[in-house]
Structure 1
Amino acid sequence: MDDELLHSFQEDSRENLESIEGDLMDLEAAGEAFEDDLVNRIFRTAHSIKGAAGFLGLEQAAGLAHVLENLLHLVRERRLIPSRKTVDAFMRGFDALGRLVDNPLEEAEEGLEGLVAELEGMYDPEARDLAHTDREIGGGDGPVFTVDDLTLEEALKGGKFLYLVEYDLIHDVHRKDKTPYDVIRAMLDSGYILDSKVDLEAAGDLKSGFGNSIPFHVLYATIIDPEIVSMLFDVPEGRVRLLDRESVRAGEPPRWASGTEPHAGVLAESIAGLEVAEEDGAAVVRAGEELTLDTVENLRQALLRASESRSAVRLDVSDANRADFSFAQLVVSALRHQAECGGDFGFTGEPPEPVAACLRRAGLDRLLGEAT
């Protein structure tokens, strides 16, 4: 773990925890008449530590902070009324959290499992069911996040939007003279981090070669409108995906919220050496003459980036004079990927005979109709 990142996490967390004892004592004294601002302040302390600890892989701290966060959500909803007993449990929870912040790399905090079980015992029956019902969100070209329904309930409260955000730790962070912790802090100031993951496999290895990016995916809720949210994240518009709240609640595959696909401006760029442009609201990737194992990886990258910019993706293969089975596999993958994301994939026109013949030989001639 990077020492600078760990130090920043500890410094911020200790600062947030400085006033926690006084805030909890005020909460106990207020009882049912507590002020929302007081509970919100305590909640932000737990959430800030959870969000940063999760990114750093500090599972004990993130897990304990998450349980405290859930309980404070119940307090805000007045489903859990502050009392001497409940506040004492909060005190011991935050004390343990402080020790985990001070000693994040040591072995498990003594008695932590019992404390977590005691805190979870304060859930009401409905909250207990929600906290133990996991939902998978994401997929397609990004990771799958597992989120419990109690967390999801809090995240979507107050009409917040739910986003899947992809940062590139090389281009969006390091080369902009930022640290990952700067990104985390900025997001915590403006919304709610449900989970985050770094895709280290994308960095490559000595045998297969190095990648040109290290994706950092964040599942994030905020009240900030889709029209301006990419300004908050400081990433290209196509790497911020707005999820449909109702489909998420229903446990359906992730899809774009209706009418919210990022499409402002004209798409015109070169990706992996291939031209990508916008036509009639769709991202169009223009393939070369060879659709073979030697070229399909570049085509995959271009299609993937195109899908991040528009929900409708079209492939122009009009110049192709050769195709092999690796291309047929790519077409199947593109169809599946776009379907999972709530988009669609097709050709710009009828594929030339070499391409059509390739799909027929692979037993995939049905794709000629399905993908056009």
Structure 2
Amino acid sequence: MKRLQLQRWSSTVLSPRARTSNKLHQHLYSASLRHQSTVAPLQTESPTQNVIEDASLDLEDPELKLRLDSVHKRKSQLKYPSPPVNAAAESAKLAALHARLYLPSRLPLETLARTLVDVSADPNADFNNESLATLGHDLLTYYTSEHLLATYPRLPLTVIFAAMYAYVGPKTLAAMSKEWGVDVASLPGGEVDPGFLQFKRVEPGTDLSKATKGKGPRPYAEAKNWRKTVTSKIFYDDEFGDPIKGSNEAGAGVPDELARATAVRALMGAIYLHSGRPAAKLFFQQHVLSRSLNISQLFNFSQPARDLTRLCARENFEKPVAKIISETGRLSRHPVFVVGIFSGQDKLGEGAGASLLEARERAALAALKGWYLYSPLNVRVPSSMEEEGAAPWKPAYVDLGEVIS
């Protein structure tokens, strides 16, 4: 009885527009209850159908139309695993990211939104970033490798792999996306803002060593003593010299680091497709080569004196000889010895240490770094020939390679 009186009172006091809004909420609530037990959440049937069929509602009311459109739009978005294409034009986060990175105007927001959809979130190849990431991955590794080989033609292979990983490895690309302000969505879905990075997260307790993307089998992935060599690079290694791992299972989650790295690679591929090679290379120089990397800290020689002797023998230099240049406090608690490595009359390196042996090892290490870190003048990379008005190509310096012990 009280409920009936309350309904009569509300129908007499509220304005016509308020009564229409109240009746709309009642119809939506009752329709949702009827569909909750019988209709799946992602089916095309909408609870607004019964509301539209009700002749007592004024469909010419602008507020009612706006409410119906918003409900229908939200219901239709729930049908998709990733945001629809037309939602990119309404995303403020996408527009801010586009302006923050100074991306080319030819790159549309729809493609930028696609770069943020991982294959684990949407398996449809027409809407995820897998194809763009493959192209961007090849471009990043190509530009990085040609820069390292042309700038430092004598680097050992292990140092090249370490430098490649430092420039375009997953950790670096993931940190780069965080610096850009790319946020991660809690769960992927059609109703999520396209400006969020969407991927399916790894289930708790999953072995992260098996949750990484790759190509092909894993013939030597479990080897303990893995050595990065030229021969293994041809068959079993990736671009960083690590064993190739198997690909993910269908529907499996990915770590946050890998999803972020894939998004950066996809953005590189998207820039290349929409704006061409000059824009892609400029983006690479601004965001990758601009990062400081001290290559001299990547060396790790176990026996530098022996390697230096073999290097001198290969290059027909005189046998290296260690000589004391200066010393102080030989009989004190903290002596200092300065030793130089000489090949004939030429000093190859110099090092200081608390003992003669330590000073000699440091001098040999300095001599090896001086050899391997050689860089020619006026360095040009092969991709510079793609620029308009480029000067004729001159052959780049190619070294014999490292001393293999």
Shared fold per TM-score greater than 0.5: no
Higher-Rg structure is 2
Bigger RCO (CA 8 Å, 6+ sep)? 2
TM-score interval, smaller chain = under 0.3
